[in-house]
Amino acid sequence: MGCLVPRLILQPLVENSIVHGFTEEEIGHLKVSAKKEQGNLLLRVWDDGCGMSKEQIERILQGKEREKSDNISIGLENVLTRIRLNFGENCKIMIHSANEEYTEIVLYLPVLTEKHERVGTENEKSSDCR
């Protein structure tokens, strides 16, 4: 496919699926995919684990403050912050989930095929995309 993406953008999503979606007794399925669609690069991470509530999804997407004991969304919040820093309004994330059924996270990123300038700066090259 030859597209550039920010480093370590998928790793936290895959880790969350494994650590928070499954138990040691019940291991499920995990799918990671990438495709170009309508000028965007779609990165999907899907699992058939325990799912997320609507409240969890809203809190993550709106950037609401976490409770100290909540370690579930740190990786996802970091991914959101990093893609917004790299791409500004040219990116989006969607989370689809149903409790005890599945979770799907889809990142919509601009298609980049060579090094690009970081959003919001004039001549500084982004070193985050590989």
Q: Which residues contact 106 (CB under 8 A, 6 or more apart)?
A: 42, 43, 44, 93, 94, 95, 96
Cβ–Cβ < 8 Å for 49, 17 = yes
Selection from 20, 1, 32, 12 nearest residue 82 by Cα: 12
- The CATH code belonging to domain 11-110 is 3.30.565.10
Tokens of 34: 């990438």
Please give the model's pTM, rounded to 2 decimal places: 0.80
What tens-digit pLDDT sequence spans the chain (130 residues)?
688 888 889 999 999 999 888 988 888 999 999 999 998 999 999 999 999 999 888 888 887 666 666 665 688 888 988 999 989 999 999 999 999 999 999 999 999 887 554 444 443 444 566 6
Q: What DSSP state is assigned to residue 77?
A: H
